[in-house]
Structure 1
Amino acid sequence: MSDEWTAERMPDLSGERVVVTGANSGLGFEATTAFARKGAHVVMACRSRERGREAMVDVREAVPGASLTLGKLDLADLDSVRAFAETFDEEFGSLDILCNNAGVMAIPRRETEQGYEMQFGVNHLGHFALTGLLLDALRASPGESRVVTQSSGLHENGEMDFDDIDGEDEYDEWDAYAQSKLANLLFAYELQRRLDSAGVEDVTSIGCHPGYAATNLQRRGPEMAGSRLRLAAMRVANAVVAQSAETGALPMLYAATAEDVAGGDYVGPTGLKNMRGYPGKQESSDRSRDEDDARRLWELSEERTGVSFDI
């Protein structure tokens, strides 16, 4: 395909059903708007119902007649993940595209409701559980369905510290973030390997990253840490270096809809240092392709979430 792939090149998605986590802001909001513009019914999976409702109003202003449902999903609480999946199955039954998009970045050490380090818990464990719980719905789709998992270029700095996965002995917010983003890709690729091994041809798993996009994601860590200096630096970087959230959402949209995407692909911006520009296929780090780490992470994730994939 052309290097200049934009959301206008997405196919007609009328009759398709899409779940986007973190749909109320940033990349999730832009992806929701783009999917709705192409006729999909989008289930906006949001932690805050209030912010979700406000975002629905904004999407409908941009796309009159947009087909939307608001779903309550707190990825930091596995009970909430189960409740969301159960409600989805009751209301819809089948799913065409799952965008594992929501996340937290470089925050002071916090724990999820189940006591896991927050970045690993939200960015990886919550989405691992959600995907497993929605797998039957993905397989019930009449055509090919896709699982798109949002990573980051910073996954290249990541290393799986299985001896201290929760940073209880030593914690650095950026190391924890990079580890969680590496976990996203290990999961995405291992899911595809397991689908292939089981002969499942109607579900495809793809990894992606947005490059450097200006969103609220960068603000939360400095705000939680009370660092005015870091917050000011983030604002300057977002204004000077970052691309827009709308452009940053393109790799996720490409991974979710482009015809030339295959299971196990990795999609990101193809411009300056893979931080900006139009989306295309890329190579992720060697660590992200480590099958031993992927199997170990999978087993740990099943143990922690209580979710097993029926494949």
Structure 2
Amino acid sequence: MSPAHGIVTIDTGFHRPSFDAAYLVVENGRGAFIDCGTQHSVPAMLAALAGQGLAPADVDWLILTHVHLDHAGGAGALMRELPNATLAVHPRGAPHMIDPTRLVAGATAVYGAEEIARSYGEIVPVAAERVRVVADGDVVELAGRPLLCIDTPGHARHHLCIWDERSRSWFTGDTFGLSYREFDNADGAPFVIPTTTPVQFEPEPLKASIRKMLAKAPEAMHLTHFGRVGDVVRLSQDLCAQIDAMVALARAAHGHDDRHARLVASLTKLYVDRANAHGAPLSATEATRLLAMDIELNAQGLEVWLDREAA
């Protein structure tokens, strides 16, 4: 059976099942990938193609929402397998795909060299002639199917979201937060939290980007973490309320010697309390375990924002 609107969700296998997604959009026998996971994800990407009866030569585009390594680390390796594809990327992200030296150095500063090697593998450059810079409002055409790219800062200054009119949905990268399926309640309603991963979190631009997407009255969002979600208006309200709450918690922790520990504890309480109120079928211990990495990264990102604001 053909996937709805020709959109295939691909589990890239990063960290755990149903954690990190990429997407394949199929139109008239041609394909476009949106995000790609890490170098280790290339077999899953090619398997998704084969599952739709497509060959690597049938892919016209690899579109990156942004160049954080869980979304784009495998771009160079995947592009080596796709002879006819062009890489579409934000103007601020393009230089890092052509020469990933600074990107790798920045990620190493956050995660450490051992984690980069284990989780992401080799970061392969993409030849400049195969890269198309995509600015706000540019359209990528997939066999006559327009994919509108808009600039959506807040999570990162090199972030695009992609509007697909056919499905009336956005491919949101990290701009529309994180929604892990383990937190869906008994009615199947999704739970969401913002992501403030270092180093470019900006609360007001992030809320503005969410409002910009809502203006299209989307029926669904396709998140990298993880999958398609509906109930878009409620989730957008939840995200904006949590962004404000997270900013308040960060400011309350600022100036204390144990700022990071305070922030980790207060973020944990915020998310666990909200998950309980949502009816997520998880204990506080289970919820904390599943969110532990995101809590740590969110705390780090909020601290970078605090220090930048104070400078």
Structure of greater Rg = 2
Q: Is TM-score (shorter-chain normalized) higher than 0.5?
A: no
Higher share in helix: 1
Query: Structure 2-normalised TM-score?
Result: 0.33
With the length of structure 1 as denominator, give the TM-score of the two structures: 0.33
Higher relative contact order structure (alpha carbons within 8 Å, sequence separation ≥ 6): 1
- Which protein is richer in strand relative to its size? 2
